[in-house]
Structure 1
Amino acid sequence: MESSKTNDHIKSSWICGIRKKSSFITLENADLIVQQADDYLESLVNDKAFSGSILLARNNQILLIKGYGCSEYGCQEKNTSQTIFRIGSVTKPFTAIMILKLHEKKQLNLNNKLSLYYPDYPHSNQITIKYLLSNTSGIEDYTEMETFERKCQEDLTIDQLIDTFKNEPLKFKPGSKYSYSNSNYILLGLIIEKVTGKSYETNLREFILEPCCMNDTGYECDNNPILNTKHNQRACGYICSTDSNSFDTCRFINMSTVRSAGGIYSTIEDLYRLDRYLYGEKLLNNHTKKIMFKPVKEHYALGWEVERLKHRRIKQQHTGEIFGFYSCLARFPKDNACIIILTNLEGISVHDILDSLTDILFQEK
């Protein structure tokens, strides 16, 4: 079975974050990559500039999978490869995959108008599902509005959340420009529920989590049993104190205010399983994946940022940020490579860390 191979690969290649010698490792400079990456990350931890878990993989082999810093500084509980983090906007690829699966199953069309699912939404007859997926709808990002600092602490239904932005004027003609907006993915979550007649969490589990054996991933907006039974596995979010010598607990956010735009939690091991399954056709067929990873405006495709790097290398990624947490899932399909960064420390630059780890992973011989 495909799922057992994926699980066995993760389990058998690693003991306590140290790469086992194996005939499967073909990179001549694998040890150098691991040493440089580990030294770099440990230096960040010493400078109180990183706390989290990291996975580096290339040529279908995990090179580094390790936790750094603490998941809970009060009791000095260490981060591990199985620590659960909020992943913020890395939720968006999950939402996009579910929409595209419904498109693949002909339960919706990407050119369908929002008015088909939400006729009362202003300008809904001008906005397509594809515009929502590609952040080209022109809808205002509710998390950038002045009211969000207050609203993010409230327990909101999806209709109440949509009411916070539905009457804002469009920023531009739908489809004409790119502008990142969490509001788009809140509406996509609503569409998933209306099309299937099931909750977002149920669809997430049936479409992605169960097929990919992602047992430590879930949707925090619901009373998910994973968080109840694995409380000690969960990271707390922190922010550096003003004197930078200690960490303070981050601001509170009610997860009902982020939902299908940022409400998922996961581990580096589970996100690597998602990466692995995206190479096959169990989640989406190859034609649908070409649609998903094709940029629409600027660098943004359908739920993914796609960037061309040197040496004709393609990077498919999404980053996330939510109070006390930063995240990144970056895929390099030409090299069968992946970098996953999950942190529980607010104020760090996940983009700088990603750039540094990318340079280390793809250093020339």
Structure 2
Amino acid sequence: MDLIDTILIKQVEENKTPSVQYVIFDKDRVIHRFQSGYADIKKQKKTTENTTYNAFSITKTFTALSILQLAEKKKLDIEQPIKKYLPEFPYSSEITIRQLMSHSAGIPNPIPLSWIHLAEEHNSFDRNAFFSKIFIKNSKTKSKPNEKYAYSNLGYVLLGQLIEKTSGLSYEDYVRENILNPLNIKQTELDFTITNRYQHAKGYHKKYSLSNLILGLLIDKSKYINTTEGRWNPFKDNYVNGVSYGGLIGTSNALVKYIQELLKPNCKLIKDDYKKMLFIENYTNNNKATGMCLSWFKGQLNGKQYYAHAGGGGGYYCEIRIYPDLGIGSVIMFNRTGMTDERFLDKIDKYIISEK
């Protein structure tokens, strides 16, 4: 555990992140927890177990779980074309729900960092109107259904619309009622809005970096970035436009509760036969492994299989992971920008895996 803590302390001390939270656990207990650094540099406010971070694309795993819950209730069939349930679907009528979930539908993925709005704009923001224009601009698929793997945020926008159409609830209310509430996760722990500003970590971007120069090409920095704090530029509070691909905001503890439940047999959220579907790797039409299941990425560390998802964007980066053979999971959260799937957990989980 000392090696893990040393690595994470260096992340803060060497100004690679303002703060970090890490938890590794089994289905019943926390094996190790570490947290360090500042949720707010200017106010010198340290991160705590109650600090919330933007989870971004980790939300996709909640979207996929929601789809399978609806499949279990016989409200949809993931092998069917999505157009059967969502007539306004803007792409080929051959594309199935499963292909959207496994990022094999060929739907475009325009750069998403500019797809945010300020917290004060949230109540008036119309996501359906926003994405209607995006779909018009990106009206052609990049490949045939299940021809290859190609990550797409737009695909998960459409899955969110499918959840709303099929359940009769808003996406947010569906997730609250069918995932968060059954786990007794409060809105202050995990939700789609910043429920307690004092508990929320500011999102930061490194001031002296190449990515900071690129950032100006992607967003209006005068609108979204506040005054510099030390070596970091803080983002103003904002929300991702596509709630079903990146809208969750919460604590590391809430994500631990979520993954712990998925580790349990006969979990509260979904029956085992449907839960197993989440973790079956997709193969293309040419029988090529894609490394992608239904929203979960498949990987290996020290010979042990895992399923994972990262969430990255302006101001935050996080990862969640499940090691099914070991019966453990892990979560890491940073309040600094992350734009790629870094597989950061490989660097620290390996010490626990080697012990196991």
TM range (shorter): 0.7 to 0.9
Match 1:217 to one of 170, 190, 208: 190
Q: Where in structure 1 are there 5+ consecutive unaligned residues?
A: 1-33, 221-226
Equivalent residues in 2 for 1:198-277, closer than 5 Å: 198-215=169-186, 216-220=189-193, 227-228=194-195, 230-242=196-208, 246-250=231-235, 253-255=238-240, 257-277=241-261
Displacement after TM superposition at 1:37 (Å): 1.0
Q: Deviations over 1:5-37 (max 9, x none)?
A: xxxxxxxxxxxxxxxxxxxxxxxxxxxxx2111
Query: What TM-score do you get using the length of structure 1 for normalisation?
Result: 0.81
State the one-letter code of the partner of 1:296. N
**Distance in 1 of aligned mates of 2:331 and 2:53:** 12
1:321 aligns with 2:312: yes
State the one-letter code of the partner of 2:282. V
Asked if structure 2 preserves the Cα contact closer than 8 Å seen for 1:251 and 1:323, the reply is no
Asked if structure 1 preserves the Cα contact closer than 8 Å seen for 2:90 and 2:135, the reply is no
Query: What TM-score do you get using the length of structure 2 for normalisation?
Result: 0.83
Match of 2:286 in 1: none
Asked if structure 1 preserves the Cα contact closer than 8 Å seen for 2:205 and 2:232, the reply is yes
1:173 aligns with 2:144: yes
**Distance in 2 of aligned mates of 1:72 and 1:245:** 11
SS of alignment partner, residue 160 of structure 1: helix
Q: Where in structure 2 are there 5+ consecutive unaligned residues?
A: 210-228, 284-289
1:82 aligns with 2:55: no
SS of alignment partner, residue 49 of structure 1: coil
**Distance in 2 of aligned mates of 1:210 and 1:326:** 25
Displacement after TM superposition at 1:121 (Å): 3.2
State the one-letter code of the partner of 1:172. S
Match of 1:353 in 2: 344
Match 1:288 to one of 274, 278, 287: 274
Q: Structure 1 194/329 Cα, relative in aligned 2: closer, same or farther at 3 Å?
A: same
61-70 or 178-187: bigger deviation = 61-70
Match 1:161 to one of 128, 131, 155: 131
- Paired residues in the alignment total 319
Displacement after TM superposition at 1:352 (Å): 5.4
SS of alignment partner, residue 260 of structure 2: helix
State the one-letter code of the partner of 2:169. K
**Distance in 1 of aligned mates of 2:101 and 2:162:** 12
**Distance in 2 of aligned mates of 1:163 and 1:117:** 21
Asked if structure 2 preserves the Cα contact closer than 8 Å seen for 1:326 and 1:343, the reply is yes
State the one-letter code of the partner of 2:293. A
Q: Structure 1 261/59 Cα, relative in aligned 2: closer, same or farther at 3 Å?
A: closer
State the one-letter code of the partner of 1:263. G
Match 1:191 to one of 162, 166, 174: 162
State the one-letter code of the partner of 1:219. F
Match of 1:36 in 2: 3
Equivalent residues in 2 for 1:56-67, closer than 5 Å: 56-58=24-26, 60-67=28-35
Asked if structure 2 preserves the Cα contact closer than 8 Å seen for 1:317 and 1:331, the reply is yes
**Distance in 2 of aligned mates of 1:101 and 1:348:** 30
Displacement after TM superposition at 1:57 (Å): 2.2
Match 2:103 to one of 123, 132, 135: 135
State the one-letter code of the partner of 2:151. Y
Displacement after TM superposition at 1:117 (Å): 3.4
Divergent runs of 4+, >6 A: none
Q: Structure 1 348/76 Cα, relative in aligned 2: closer, same or farther at 3 Å?
A: farther
SS of alignment partner, residue 311 of structure 2: strand
